[in-house]
Amino acid sequence: MALVALKDLLEDAVRNRYAVGGFDAGEHGFAEAIIQAAEETQAPVILMVPEPFLKYVDRHFFAYLVQRIKASSASIDLHLDHGSTYESCLKAIHYGFTSVMIDGSVLPYEENVALTKKVVEAAHAAGVSVEAELGHVGGGEETLADGGTADEDHFTDPDEAARFVEKTNVDALAVSFGTVHGVYRGTPKLDLERLTAIRRQIDLPLVMHGGSGLSDEDFRNVIKCGINKINYFTAVSFAAVEEIKLALAEKNGKIFYPELVARALQKAKEEVVKTIKVFGTR
Ligand code: 13P
Protein backbone atom coordinates (compact mmCIF):
# COMPACT_ATOMS: atom_id res chain seq x y z
CA MET A 1 0.00 0.00 0.00
CA ALA A 2 1.35 3.45 0.38
CA LEU A 3 1.43 7.11 1.06
CA VAL A 4 -1.96 8.40 -0.12
CA ALA A 5 -3.23 11.98 -0.35
CA LEU A 6 -6.15 12.87 1.94
CA LYS A 7 -8.55 13.51 -0.95
CA ASP A 8 -8.02 10.00 -2.34
CA LEU A 9 -8.00 8.36 1.09
CA LEU A 10 -11.38 9.87 2.02
CA GLU A 11 -13.19 9.34 -1.28
CA ASP A 12 -14.39 5.88 -0.26
CA ALA A 13 -15.29 7.11 3.25
CA VAL A 14 -17.64 9.72 1.78
CA ARG A 15 -19.19 7.21 -0.62
CA ASN A 16 -19.67 4.50 1.98
CA ARG A 17 -20.32 6.74 5.01
CA TYR A 18 -17.60 5.87 7.45
CA ALA A 19 -14.80 7.85 9.11
CA VAL A 20 -11.03 7.58 9.00
CA GLY A 21 -9.10 8.48 12.16
CA GLY A 22 -6.59 11.32 12.18
CA PHE A 23 -4.06 10.54 14.94
CA ASP A 24 -1.37 12.98 16.06
CA ALA A 25 2.31 12.14 16.58
CA GLY A 26 5.24 14.35 17.54
CA GLU A 27 8.04 11.79 17.61
CA HIS A 28 9.11 8.41 16.19
CA GLY A 29 7.43 6.17 18.78
CA PHE A 30 3.91 7.52 18.43
CA ALA A 31 4.22 7.61 14.63
CA GLU A 32 5.26 3.96 14.67
CA ALA A 33 2.39 3.01 17.04
CA ILE A 34 -0.14 4.62 14.67
CA ILE A 35 1.37 2.97 11.57
CA GLN A 36 1.37 -0.44 13.31
CA ALA A 37 -2.29 0.04 14.33
CA ALA A 38 -3.14 0.67 10.66
CA GLU A 39 -1.18 -2.41 9.58
CA GLU A 40 -2.77 -4.60 12.26
CA THR A 41 -6.32 -3.58 11.30
CA GLN A 42 -5.55 -3.19 7.56
CA ALA A 43 -7.48 0.08 7.73
CA PRO A 44 -6.31 3.43 6.36
CA VAL A 45 -5.20 6.13 8.82
CA ILE A 46 -4.25 9.77 8.68
CA LEU A 47 -0.96 10.25 10.50
CA MET A 48 -0.92 13.86 11.64
CA VAL A 49 1.87 16.05 12.95
CA PRO A 50 0.47 19.20 14.58
CA GLU A 51 2.35 22.40 13.78
CA PRO A 52 3.19 23.00 17.49
CA PHE A 53 4.92 19.56 17.56
CA LEU A 54 7.25 20.43 14.67
CA LYS A 55 9.63 21.80 17.31
CA TYR A 56 10.25 18.22 18.55
CA VAL A 57 11.42 16.85 15.18
CA ASP A 58 13.46 17.84 12.14
CA ARG A 59 13.67 17.11 8.40
CA HIS A 60 15.43 13.78 9.06
CA PHE A 61 12.35 12.58 10.93
CA PHE A 62 10.16 13.27 7.90
CA ALA A 63 12.64 11.69 5.47
CA TYR A 64 12.41 8.53 7.60
CA LEU A 65 8.64 8.76 8.03
CA VAL A 66 7.88 9.09 4.31
CA GLN A 67 10.00 5.98 3.57
CA ARG A 68 8.40 4.06 6.46
CA ILE A 69 4.89 4.87 5.19
CA LYS A 70 5.79 3.95 1.60
CA ALA A 71 6.94 0.54 2.85
CA SER A 72 3.80 0.02 4.96
CA SER A 73 1.11 -2.55 4.18
CA ALA A 74 -1.56 0.09 5.03
CA SER A 75 -2.76 3.24 3.22
CA ILE A 76 -1.60 6.30 5.13
CA ASP A 77 -1.91 10.04 4.54
CA LEU A 78 0.82 12.16 6.17
CA HIS A 79 -0.92 15.33 7.31
CA LEU A 80 0.08 18.66 8.85
CA ASP A 81 -2.45 19.33 11.64
CA HIS A 82 -3.36 22.94 12.45
CA GLY A 83 -0.94 24.68 10.10
CA SER A 84 -1.28 28.37 10.94
CA THR A 85 0.63 30.01 8.07
CA TYR A 86 1.20 29.66 4.33
CA GLU A 87 4.92 29.15 5.07
CA SER A 88 4.42 26.23 7.45
CA CYS A 89 2.18 24.51 4.87
CA LEU A 90 4.88 24.98 2.20
CA LYS A 91 7.45 23.54 4.60
CA ALA A 92 5.27 20.45 5.16
CA ILE A 93 4.79 20.01 1.40
CA HIS A 94 8.56 20.23 1.00
CA TYR A 95 9.00 17.52 3.67
CA GLY A 96 6.74 15.17 1.67
CA PHE A 97 3.40 15.52 3.50
CA THR A 98 0.42 14.43 1.38
CA SER A 99 -2.02 16.84 3.03
CA VAL A 100 -1.97 20.01 5.08
CA MET A 101 -4.52 21.72 7.27
CA ILE A 102 -4.52 25.47 7.01
CA ASP A 103 -6.34 26.65 10.10
CA GLY A 104 -7.63 30.16 9.51
CA SER A 105 -10.61 29.57 11.82
CA VAL A 106 -9.73 32.43 14.17
CA LEU A 107 -9.39 34.91 11.29
CA PRO A 108 -12.23 37.05 9.94
CA TYR A 109 -14.14 35.14 7.21
CA GLU A 110 -12.63 36.94 4.20
CA GLU A 111 -9.08 36.48 5.53
CA ASN A 112 -9.72 32.78 6.15
CA VAL A 113 -10.95 32.48 2.53
CA ALA A 114 -7.90 34.32 1.14
CA LEU A 115 -5.35 32.33 3.17
CA THR A 116 -7.02 28.98 2.44
CA LYS A 117 -7.22 29.77 -1.28
CA LYS A 118 -3.53 30.66 -1.41
CA VAL A 119 -2.55 27.40 0.33
CA VAL A 120 -4.90 25.35 -1.90
CA GLU A 121 -3.30 26.76 -5.08
CA ALA A 122 0.23 25.90 -3.92
CA ALA A 123 -0.70 22.51 -2.44
CA HIS A 124 -2.74 21.34 -5.46
CA ALA A 125 0.17 22.23 -7.75
CA ALA A 126 2.20 19.70 -5.73
CA GLY A 127 -0.58 17.04 -5.62
CA VAL A 128 -1.17 17.71 -1.90
CA SER A 129 -4.67 17.89 -0.38
CA VAL A 130 -5.89 20.68 1.90
CA GLU A 131 -8.18 20.72 4.94
CA ALA A 132 -9.49 24.05 6.20
CA GLU A 133 -11.64 25.02 9.17
CA LEU A 134 -14.69 27.25 9.25
CA GLY A 135 -16.30 28.15 12.55
CA HIS A 136 -13.88 27.42 15.36
CA VAL A 137 -13.30 24.31 17.50
CA GLY A 138 -11.90 25.59 20.80
CA GLY A 139 -10.03 23.98 23.68
CA GLY A 140 -6.40 22.95 23.48
CA GLU A 141 -3.39 21.99 25.49
CA GLU A 142 -3.57 24.89 27.91
CA THR A 143 -7.04 23.94 29.15
CA LEU A 144 -6.39 20.21 29.74
CA ALA A 145 -6.62 20.48 33.54
CA ASP A 146 -9.91 22.43 33.54
CA GLY A 147 -11.43 20.93 30.44
CA GLY A 148 -13.19 22.94 27.76
CA THR A 149 -16.74 23.62 26.61
CA ALA A 150 -17.84 24.49 23.09
CA ASP A 151 -18.85 28.05 22.29
CA GLU A 152 -22.01 28.14 20.16
CA ASP A 153 -21.05 31.54 18.79
CA HIS A 154 -18.24 29.77 16.94
CA PHE A 155 -20.32 26.96 15.44
CA THR A 156 -20.16 26.58 11.64
CA ASP A 157 -22.92 28.22 9.60
CA PRO A 158 -24.09 25.79 6.85
CA ASP A 159 -24.68 28.45 4.16
CA GLU A 160 -21.37 30.15 4.87
CA ALA A 161 -19.65 26.73 4.72
CA ALA A 162 -21.08 26.10 1.24
CA ARG A 163 -19.81 29.49 0.03
CA PHE A 164 -16.40 28.88 1.64
CA VAL A 165 -15.93 25.54 -0.13
CA GLU A 166 -16.96 27.06 -3.46
CA LYS A 167 -14.53 29.97 -3.11
CA THR A 168 -11.50 28.07 -1.79
CA ASN A 169 -11.62 24.75 -3.68
CA VAL A 170 -10.54 23.03 -0.46
CA ASP A 171 -10.55 19.18 -0.24
CA ALA A 172 -11.96 18.69 3.28
CA LEU A 173 -13.63 20.98 5.79
CA ALA A 174 -13.36 20.90 9.60
CA VAL A 175 -16.60 22.09 11.16
CA SER A 176 -17.64 23.21 14.63
CA PHE A 177 -20.85 21.84 16.17
CA GLY A 178 -20.06 21.09 19.82
CA THR A 179 -16.66 19.41 20.13
CA VAL A 180 -13.54 20.86 21.77
CA HIS A 181 -9.89 19.82 21.73
CA GLY A 182 -8.58 18.09 24.85
CA VAL A 183 -10.63 17.19 27.91
CA TYR A 184 -14.34 18.12 28.09
CA ARG A 185 -15.82 20.01 30.99
CA GLY A 186 -19.13 18.19 31.53
CA THR A 187 -20.88 16.08 28.90
CA PRO A 188 -20.36 17.28 25.33
CA LYS A 189 -23.52 18.41 23.54
CA LEU A 190 -23.36 17.90 19.80
CA ASP A 191 -25.55 19.93 17.44
CA LEU A 192 -26.33 17.10 15.02
CA GLU A 193 -29.03 19.08 13.21
CA ARG A 194 -26.42 21.67 12.27
CA LEU A 195 -24.04 18.93 11.13
CA THR A 196 -26.80 17.38 9.00
CA ALA A 197 -27.55 20.79 7.46
CA ILE A 198 -23.85 21.28 6.63
CA ARG A 199 -23.66 17.80 5.06
CA ARG A 200 -26.72 18.60 2.91
CA GLN A 201 -24.92 21.64 1.49
CA ILE A 202 -21.44 20.16 1.06
CA ASP A 203 -20.33 17.18 -0.97
CA LEU A 204 -16.79 17.00 0.50
CA PRO A 205 -15.24 15.09 3.40
CA LEU A 206 -16.27 16.74 6.68
CA VAL A 207 -13.81 16.69 9.58
CA MET A 208 -14.47 16.62 13.32
CA HIS A 209 -11.73 17.81 15.66
CA GLY A 210 -11.74 16.98 19.38
CA GLY A 211 -12.65 13.28 19.21
CA SER A 212 -11.28 12.29 22.65
CA GLY A 213 -13.95 12.10 25.33
CA LEU A 214 -16.91 11.35 23.06
CA SER A 215 -18.89 8.13 23.51
CA ASP A 216 -19.08 5.33 20.94
CA GLU A 217 -22.68 6.41 20.33
CA ASP A 218 -21.55 9.99 19.66
CA PHE A 219 -19.09 8.63 17.07
CA ARG A 220 -21.78 6.55 15.39
CA ASN A 221 -24.12 9.58 15.31
CA VAL A 222 -21.62 12.05 13.84
CA ILE A 223 -20.58 9.51 11.20
CA LYS A 224 -24.25 8.93 10.31
CA CYS A 225 -24.69 12.71 9.98
CA GLY A 226 -21.73 13.04 7.60
CA ILE A 227 -18.34 13.15 9.38
CA ASN A 228 -15.55 11.35 7.44
CA LYS A 229 -12.38 12.27 9.34
CA ILE A 230 -12.15 12.28 13.13
CA ASN A 231 -9.14 13.82 14.86
CA TYR A 232 -8.21 11.93 18.00
CA PHE A 233 -5.18 12.58 20.15
CA THR A 234 -5.64 13.34 23.87
CA ALA A 235 -7.01 9.88 24.74
CA VAL A 236 -4.08 8.15 22.97
CA SER A 237 -1.59 10.38 24.75
CA PHE A 238 -3.26 9.81 28.14
CA ALA A 239 -3.27 6.02 27.60
CA ALA A 240 0.51 6.09 27.02
CA VAL A 241 1.24 8.43 29.95
CA GLU A 242 -0.92 6.37 32.36
CA GLU A 243 1.04 3.27 31.37
CA ILE A 244 4.32 5.09 32.04
CA LYS A 245 3.07 6.07 35.51
CA LEU A 246 1.98 2.48 36.20
CA ALA A 247 5.28 0.98 34.99
CA LEU A 248 7.33 3.43 37.08
CA ALA A 249 5.24 2.70 40.17
CA GLU A 250 5.44 -1.09 39.65
CA LYS A 251 9.22 -1.04 39.30
CA ASN A 252 9.83 1.71 41.84
CA GLY A 253 11.39 3.81 39.06
CA LYS A 254 13.99 1.14 38.27
CA ILE A 255 13.11 0.28 34.68
CA PHE A 256 15.17 0.42 31.51
CA TYR A 257 14.04 3.12 29.10
CA PRO A 258 13.27 0.81 26.11
CA GLU A 259 10.92 -1.29 28.27
CA LEU A 260 9.16 1.83 29.58
CA VAL A 261 8.69 3.23 26.07
CA ALA A 262 7.60 -0.13 24.63
CA ARG A 263 4.89 -0.44 27.29
CA ALA A 264 3.64 3.11 26.64
CA LEU A 265 3.58 2.65 22.87
CA GLN A 266 1.78 -0.69 23.14
CA LYS A 267 -1.02 1.15 25.02
CA ALA A 268 -1.04 3.93 22.42
CA LYS A 269 -1.36 1.35 19.64
CA GLU A 270 -4.19 -0.46 21.44
CA GLU A 271 -6.11 2.82 21.83
CA VAL A 272 -5.69 3.58 18.10
CA VAL A 273 -6.80 0.05 17.10
CA LYS A 274 -9.88 0.30 19.36
CA THR A 275 -10.76 3.70 17.87
CA ILE A 276 -10.34 2.55 14.26
CA LYS A 277 -12.88 -0.24 15.00
CA VAL A 278 -15.39 2.19 16.55
CA PHE A 279 -15.11 4.48 13.50
CA GLY A 280 -15.90 1.52 11.21
CA THR A 281 -12.88 2.33 9.03
CA ARG A 282 -12.22 -0.15 6.23
P1 13P B 1 -8.44 15.52 20.90
O2 13P B 1 -7.05 15.66 21.45
O3 13P B 1 -9.46 16.20 21.75
O4 13P B 1 -8.81 14.11 20.60
O5 13P B 1 -8.48 16.33 19.52
C6 13P B 1 -7.48 16.11 18.58
C7 13P B 1 -7.58 17.06 17.45
O8 13P B 1 -8.64 17.55 17.12
C9 13P B 1 -6.34 17.40 16.76
O10 13P B 1 -6.53 18.28 15.70
Model confidence at 274: pLDDT above 60:
yes
Ligand 1: centre distance to CA 209 (Å): 5
> Which residue, by CA, sits nearest to atom 9 of ligand 1?
231
Q: Encode burial over 167-202: b for 16+ CB neighbours within 10 A, e otherwise.
A: ebebbbbbbbbbbbbbbbeeebebbbebbebbbeeb
> Is 164 in contact with 177 (CB distance < 8 Å)?
no
Question: Which atom number of ligand 1 is nearest to the Cα of residue 24?
Answer: 9
Express each pLDDT in 68-105 by its tens digit.
999 999 999 999 999 999 999 999 999 999 999 999 99
> For residue 139, what pLDDT band results from cuts at 50, 70 and 90?
confident
Q: What is the mean pLDDT of residues 121-136?
A: 98
Ligand 1: centre distance to CA 58 (Å): 22
> For residue 143, what pLDDT band results from cuts at 50, 70 and 90?
low
Please identify which of the residues 81, 103, 171, 191 carries the catalytic annotation: 81
Model confidence at 141: pLDDT above 70:
no
> For residue 142, what pLDDT band results from cuts at 50, 70 and 90?
low
> Structural domain of residue 12, as residue ranges?
2-279
Q: What is the pLDDT of residue 1?
A: 61
> For residue 147, what pLDDT band results from cuts at 50, 70 and 90?
confident
Domain harbouring 201, CATH code: 3.20.20.70
Model confidence at 233: pLDDT above 70:
yes
Question: Which atom number of ligand 1 is nearest to the Cα of residue 181?
Answer: 3
**For the chain, what is the domain count?**
1
Question: Which atom number of ligand 1 is nearest to the Cα of residue 234?
Answer: 2
Q: How many CB atoms lie within 10 A of CB 163?
A: 14
Judged on CB neighbours under 10 Å (0-12, 13-18, 19+), 208 is buried
